[in-house]
Chains A and B, each alone.
Chain A
Amino acid sequence: MKFGYTSWLPQTDLMVKFTEALKQGKLMGTKCKKCGEKYLPPRAHCRCGSHEVEWYEAPTRGKLFSYTLVTFPPDSMTKYAPYIVAVAELEDGSRLLAHITGVSPKTLQVGLPVQVVPHQISEDRIAYKFKPEQTTV
């Protein structure tokens, strides 16, 4: 399973595990066993130099930190445009960049509560995306 709308990188062990968990609806980050630093998206190695990291399940609720409506895409993304690229801050303070759907660009605003959900782009491609948090009446 490849990650994202457009990419060509080889499938490393980290990406296989990450995308398998994502398919099950779990957003996984890695934590350094030596210094405790957490990474979302995950890394196989810590910036402290350690290669011993363990998986943890990251929160999937957060708030919109910034966004842009992309109307002039790079060549490889033409068929998906226009799309909204957003950065969301999750409950533990970590941030992710992804598309947001299910919301009109005109009503978007910083601080909007969002959820991170898996998004099966095609048979062999998966990503996460943001959607406005469902409010229960």
Chain B
Amino acid sequence: MECFCLTQKVGVVGIGHAKFGKRTDATIRELAHEATIPALEDVGITTADIDASVIGVANEALAAQVSPGALLQDYAGLGNKPMFRVEAACATGSAGVQTAWSLIKAGLAEVVMVIGAETMTHVGAPVATEWMARACDTRWEYPFGITFPGSYALMATRHMHEFGTTRMQLSMVSVKSHKYGAMNPYAHLQKEVTLEEAMKSVPICQPLNLYDCCLISDGAAAAILASEEKAKKITDTPVWITGLGSASDTMMISERPSLTGLVASRLAAEQAYKMARVTPNDIDVACTHDCFSIAEIMSYEDLGFCKKGEGGKFIEEEQSYIGGEVPTNVDGGLKSKGHPLGATGVSMTVEITRQLRGEAGKRQVNGAQIGLTHNVGETGQYCFVHIYTR
């Protein structure tokens, strides 16, 4: 292979998405298949055209399969091709996209399939919460029964204390998520909720209640990435990945100077904006990591959509709705679409690709040219920000 890689762009050429939900009819292999076949059909190629794959599954216990990459590689018909399995907690899917981008850029492959998949519902919510809680520091924080909702609740308490963010503003995020999730045929919960319902739902970790928390879902998504030269040959609608950023943070959240934002989000965003030569004002549509309502509010601030402390106002003024400053999570987000850990980052890539192609139907942001994905693992121990252009 001649190496034009350093000067070539990398694009998304094919996308596929399984129905997210409580999928008692499928295990992780069938879910992944439900995403990979449409991705191949989308671009009109077969597995013979794929040079390598990157497979993202966050949790082996939830997948009920140790080394799930090997299983999904084989089941997808990718046979003897190079395969990498990545793990970055809830940001696993985006770690997969960035790994695939890097393989192509390095000249090791021209066409790479990224598969993100997770099963969660079969173990039930308490056990799924337990497995995710074990991603907190197991010596000093997990032994106190801190959970992911609990960690983000500590941030919400602080955000409300420092900036006057309100209970109602938190619920407004959920109302928006459900409004758009109701229009997304792949979403787990396709129903709208009222502000009153969202505010009065069952407490989980105060101040967060049920409607502030993302769903425990099963699902998969797939994206095929290709080098510029190859992409131009196989599709008329490539979506280019023009900026990438990633960063990490301390394992213990009690060690962080601030709990009102994620340092990793800010650092990853800075890198991605700089590389893509754009600013937050240029973003037409975004998928940000709304595992909890407070997480979406912090994402507006960390990504520069609004000033620090004004995230609550941003949602209250409907600036993250279609028609607002930066339409955010108009696929329903993790909250309504669902958050099958490994699938989420790839699902974000699928949504932004759809939006930039103009194929998002009722949820289309008219004329969207530049999109952004922001995918957080744990409480910011992993973060990936990617920028996409038509």
Contacts and interface: CB of A to CB of B under 8 A. Distances in A.
A67 interface: yes
B16 interface: no
Nearest to B154: A66
Contact of A68 (B129, B139, B154): B154
A71 B150 CA distance: 9
B205 interface: yes
Nearest to B140: A41
A125 B186 CA distance: 46
A66 B150 CA distance: 11
B147 A73 contact: yes
B309 interface: no
Interface in B119-134: 125-127, 129-130, 132-133
A85 B255 CA distance: 15
Q: Most A CB atoms within 10 A — which of B125, B146, B207?
A: B146
B206 interface: yes
Nearest to A80: B145
Interface in B99-157: 125-127, 129-130, 132-133, 138-147, 149-150, 153-157
Q: Most B CB atoms within 10 A — which of A68, A70, A110, A127?
A: A68
Contacts of B253: 87, 97
Given A68-B205, A75-B126, A85 B146 contact: yes
Contacts of A15: 139
B259 interface: yes
A5 B157 contact: no
B158 interface: yes
Interface in A68-125: 68-78, 80-81, 83, 85, 87, 95-99, 105, 110
Contacts of A85: 144-146, 150, 154, 205
Interface string B185-208: 000000000000000001111111
A3 B143 contact: yes
Q: Most A CB atoms within 10 A — which of B143, B149, B158?
A: B143
B360 interface: no
A42 to B, nearest CB: 9
Given A66-B259, A72-B204, A75-B129, A3 B139 contact: yes
Contact of A87 (B127, B206, B259): B259
A77 B145 contact: yes
Nearest to B206: A69
A2 B141 CA distance: 14
A4 interface: yes
A7 interface: yes
B232 interface: no
B158 A66 contact: yes
A4 to B, nearest CB: 2
Q: Most A CB atoms within 10 A — which of B141, B144, B154, B259?
A: B144
A36 B4 CA distance: 49
B348 to A, nearest CB: 26
B307 interface: no
B368 to A, nearest CB: 37
Given A9-B139, A78-B126, A85-B154, A105 B206 contact: yes
Contacts of A78: 126
Contact of B254 (A4, A5, A81, A87): A87
Interface string B331-365: 00000000000000000000000000000000000
A127 B139 CA distance: 11
A55 interface: no
A65 interface: yes
A110 B156 CA distance: 12
Contacts of B154: 66-68, 85, 87
A136 interface: no
B157 A68 contact: yes
Contacts of B133: 74
B252 interface: yes
Contacts of A110: 157-158, 161
Given A74-B130, A110-B161, A5 B143 contact: yes
A5 B157 CA distance: 24
Interface of A: 3-7, 9, 15, 41, 65-78, 80-81, 83, 85, 87, 95-99, 105, 110, 127
8 contacts: A4-B142, A41-B140, A41-B252, A66-B157, A66-B158, A68-B208, A70-B205, A127-B143
Given A5-B145, A75-B127, A78-B126, 6 more contacts: A9-B139, A66-B154, A68-B154, A68-B206, A74-B129, A75-B126
Q: Which 5 A-B pairs give the minimum distances between C-beta atoms?
A: A4-B143, A68-B153, A77-B145, A75-B130, A74-B130
